[in-house]
């Protein structure tokens, strides 16, 4: 962990919480050549107790690994193909919106 930033916030129920952002670096190393590549990353959390920094660091590490190695958590809610937005009502009666006229263009 390189650094951490925090902001004190008040929750909806009036409690004090802390929004934490930690700056992280992860290094990939090739065992054959010894070549390394260091990548910056960050972790973030909002918490009301003393575990806020470790929670932000753990979240950062988790998502770095998930995104770097394209891992699945197995959770249905993490699957982007699981849900799609449901259109309740179209405001334009199913028609495509008209392109703006020259009178409405702001330059």
Q: Give residue-wise pLDDT tens across range 30-55.
A: 999 999 999 999 999 999 888 899 99
Q: What are phi and psi of 74, to 5 degrees?
A: 85, -10
Q: What is the dihedral of CA 67, 70, 76, 79, to 10 degrees?
A: 80
* pLDDT over 70 at 106, yes or no: no
Please tell me the predicted confidence (pLDDT) of residue 75: 78
Please tell me the predicted confidence (pLDDT) of residue 54: 93
Q: Longest C-alpha distance within the chain, in Å?
A: 64
* pLDDT over 60 at 91, yes or no: no
Distance, in Å, from the CA atom of 1 to the CA atom of 44, rounded to the nearest integer, reads: 12
Distance, in Å, from the CA atom of 63 to the CA atom of 42, rounded to the nearest integer, reads: 9
Q: How far apart are the first and last CA of the chain?
A: 45
Q: What is the dihedral of CA 27, 30, 33, 39, to 10 degrees?
A: -30
Distance, in Å, from the CA atom of 88 to the CA atom of 38, rounded to the nearest integer, reads: 46
């Amino acid at each position: 962990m390189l650094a951490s930033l925090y902001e004190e916030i008040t929750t909806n129920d009036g409690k004090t919480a802390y929004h934490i952002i930690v700056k992280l670096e992860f290094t990939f190393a090739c065992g054959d050549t010894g070549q390394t590549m260091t990548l910056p990353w960050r972790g973030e959390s909002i918490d009301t107790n003393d575990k806020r920094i470790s929670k932000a660091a753990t979240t950062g590490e988790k998502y770095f690994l998930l995104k770097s190695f394209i891992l699945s958590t197995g959770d249905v809610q993490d699957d982007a193909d699981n849900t799609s937005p449901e259109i309740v009502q179209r405001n334009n009666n199913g028609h495509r919106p008209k392109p703006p006229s020259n009178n409405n263009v702001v330059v």
